Structure 1
Amino acid sequence: MQIAGYPIRQIAYYTPDIDQAALAHSAAFGSGPFFTLRHIPLTRSVHRGVSHTFDHSSAYGQWGDVMVEFLTQHNGGPSACRDMYPAAGAGGLHHMSVFVEEMDGAIARFEEKGMPLAQRSTTEFGTDFAFLDATDTLGHMVEIYEGGESLRGFYAMVREAAEGWDGSDPIRELG
């Protein structure tokens, strides 16, 4: 499966409780184990052209051939998450992620296809990511990031942890 010619690497759901969602998904579909990052530190976050705080946490696990993420936002400020799920307690499919070769060019190509930039952020770890608003065309956001060595290594670690996983220790803290 692809979006705009890029293979889908991840499916992500917005949820009020990442641990509960990860445990339920694991029990229902055998996904996991899940690696959590809480209050992911960012050096910048710009939503629809305005800088905002984006305090979020995520749980990442393997679901067959694709990574599955559960994310939540802790603060009430504007974000690509609040664009889709403004009500407390709401949740559902939020985005699908793809790796791109170069961020600015990819953002321009997505915008040409009617998917404007909603949010662009950078983690303290140096990962630059962007949410493109594909709600009119796909019903969800598209997340893009450059698939550098560090990010590919993280995806490989999650995938390798799932190989032969016996279901024990389903939630594992990172950071």
Structure 2
Amino acid sequence: MSRFFGNVCQNGYVVRDIEAALKHWTEVLGVGPFYYIDRVQCDWFTYKGEPSPVEMSIALGNTGDLQIELIQQRNDAPSMYMDFLNAGREGLQHMSYWTQNYQADYDRALAAGYKVGHEGQIGGPQGRFVYFDTETHPGTVIEMSDISGGKGKFFEHIRKAAIGWDGTDPVRPVR
């Protein structure tokens, strides 16, 4: 638990081949089911304060209360995901903390010296997320995500689906 952000709610893995990663997580590790969004529709996305037309696919599944996010960037637009891949890395890229009080926590983080690496919004104002430019070694980027709206309900659905999952229907497309 972070004294500043609370519990880690998600580990995010940036991968070059999301289908291979899904196979590994579901078949080898037995984690799932995963909810797969082939092309995420961002309302907006910025990298270091500048608009960036990032295109990505994501898959979300749970192991207990910890959500696993798999991310494959589908273009070469500037992002912290692309920075990670261009540095020759693949795998754990961030830890995410979730909040019901996004703007207050965002402002508190900025006041404490955190710098925005990239940020965006999916599905309206209650779908904001930010990645702080704080990486000191792989896997320590900090994401903060607003779960006060529909995203929070979707994340809870994913968590519940993992309870007692029997291995059937391991990848569930989200339209």
TM-score (norm 2): 0.88
Higher strand proportion: 1
Secondary structure at 1:167's aligned position in 2?
coil
Which ranges in structure 2 are unaligned for 5 or more consecutive residues?
Answer: none
Task: Show the counterpart of 1:141.
Answer: 141
CA distance in 1, matches of 2:174, 2:132: 27
Correspondence 1:58-137 to 2 at 5 A: 58-86=58-86, 90-123=89-122, 125-126=123-124, 127-136=127-136
Relative to 1, partners in 2 of residues 1:3 and 1:70: Cα closer, same or farther, differing over 3 Å? farther
The answer on whether the counterparts of 1:16 and 1:72 sit within 8 Å (CA) in structure 2 is yes
Secondary structure at 1:85's aligned position in 2?
helix
What amino acid maps onto 1:94 in structure 2? Q
CA distance in 2, matches of 1:83, 1:149: 30
TM-score (norm 1): 0.88
Runs of 4+ in 1 over 6 A off after TM superposition: none
Percent identical: 27
Task: Show the counterpart of 1:24.
Answer: 24
Query: RMSD of the alignment, in Å?
Result: 2.1
The size of the alignment, in residue pairs, is 173
Task: Show the counterpart of 1:10.
Answer: 10
CA distance in 2, matches of 1:79, 1:141: 13
CA distance in 2, matches of 1:115, 1:31: 33
CA distance in 1, matches of 2:80, 2:129: 12
Tell me by how many angstroms 1:8 deviates.
1.1
CA distance in 2, matches of 1:43, 1:94: 23
Secondary structure at 1:106's aligned position in 2?
helix
Tell me by how many angstroms 1:136 deviates.
2.3
What amino acid maps onto 2:105 in structure 1? A
Secondary structure at 1:84's aligned position in 2?
helix
Secondary structure at 1:2's aligned position in 2?
coil
Tell me by how many angstroms 1:112 deviates.
4.6
What amino acid maps onto 1:18 in structure 2? I
Task: Show the counterpart of 2:47.
Answer: 47
* CA offsets 1:118-138 (integer angstroms, 9 cap, x no match): 111112x22111111220278
Relative to 1, partners in 2 of residues 1:152 and 1:12: Cα closer, same or farther, differing over 3 Å? same
Secondary structure at 2:121's aligned position in 1?
strand
Tell me by how many angstroms 1:3 deviates.
6.2
Relative to 1, partners in 2 of residues 1:3 and 1:84: Cα closer, same or farther, differing over 3 Å? farther
Which ranges in structure 1 are unaligned for 5 or more consecutive residues?
Answer: none
What amino acid maps onto 1:93 in structure 2? L
What amino acid maps onto 2:90 in structure 1? G
What amino acid maps onto 1:61 in structure 2? G
The answer on whether the counterparts of 2:93 and 2:138 sit within 8 Å (CA) in structure 1 is no
